[in-house]
Amino acid sequence: MPDADTPLTSIRARIHAACTAADRDPDTVTLVAVSKTRGADEIAALADQGQRHFGENYLQEALDKMPALAGRGLIWHFIGPLQSNKTREVAEHFHWVHSVDRAKIARRLNDQRPADLPPLEVCLQVNLDNEDSKSGLPLAEVPALAARFGEWPRLRLRGLMAIPRADAQDHNRAAFRQLAMTLSQLRNTMPALDTLSMGMSADYPVAIEEGATLIRLGTALFGPRPPKQDG
């Protein structure tokens, strides 16, 4: 368990407070520690405090760190943009993928998921503001892609993910609410969907109030991120 006065302890307290304010069970919110650019020793230190879920954006960096952390029972989430040439290693090494945004990627992940592993947990990434700089599919295309997951038995569609604009005056409340409404509509025909991956270090209490079940925090846990090294 984490010691007193650690960032993890403080964040867990804020998660509990946000859940209480929203009349939610804190156990319905999972903290994903975004560990991109962080070394295996930093991840291990959080794992020693009881943190199990870690999110990575850069595939090769993640693959380089994973062997040193094997045997700890960590759950790995791939949360970065996903190209076709990376799907095999993601399918082989990760438990979750938050960034599926087209059928081609889903099909490749399904075909490349090892038979001895459970189905890969998947969130569809939604580009709520249609920003050219971000991955994700438009809201209008979500139902059609979600409906195709019956074709891919090695995948388990869990819900939706989004990275809203950073400059929203309402701490992204409107965007979070829109994503939650979209999931609610999908659940009319796919009641097993249960996941909203939304909320980061600057806005996660608001995301929790709007229904987030996975929150992705990096700097709030690890401190300022070091610059990514080329190569």
- In this predicted structure, what is the pLDDT of residue 1? 47
> Euclidean distance between the first and final Cα of the chain, in Å?
36
Instruction: Using the predicted structure, report yes or no on whether residue 225 has a pLDDT greater than 80.
Output: no
- Total structural domains within the chain: 1
CATH number at residue 38: 3.20.20.10
Per residue in 86-113, pLDDT tens? 999 999 999 999 999 999 999 999 999 9
Q: With left for phi above 0 and alpha for psi between -120 and 50, is residue 5 left, alpha or beta?
A: left
Could you write out the DSSP letters of every residue in 104-170? HHHHHHHHHS-TTSPPEEEEEEE-TT--TTS--B-GGGHHHHHHGGGG-TTEEEEEEEE---TT-TT
Q: What is the residue range of 109's domain?
A: 7-222
Q: How far apart are CA 201 and CA 139, in angstroms?
A: 24
Tell me if 1 is assigned to some domain: no
Predicted TM-score (pTM) of the model is: 0.94
| Share of residues in the chain with pLDDT > 90 (%) | 86
Tell me if 114 is assigned to some domain: yes
Instruction: Using the predicted structure, report yes or no on whether residue 15 has a pLDDT greater than 60.
Output: yes
Give mean pLDDT, residues 57-63: 97
Tell me if 124 is assigned to some domain: yes
Instruction: Using the predicted structure, report yes or no on whether residue 60 has a pLDDT greater than 70.
Output: yes
Distance from chain centroid for Cα 56: 9
- In this predicted structure, what is the pLDDT of residue 2? 47
Per residue in 108-154, pLDDT tens? 999 999 999 999 999 999 998 877 777 899 999 999 999 999 999 99
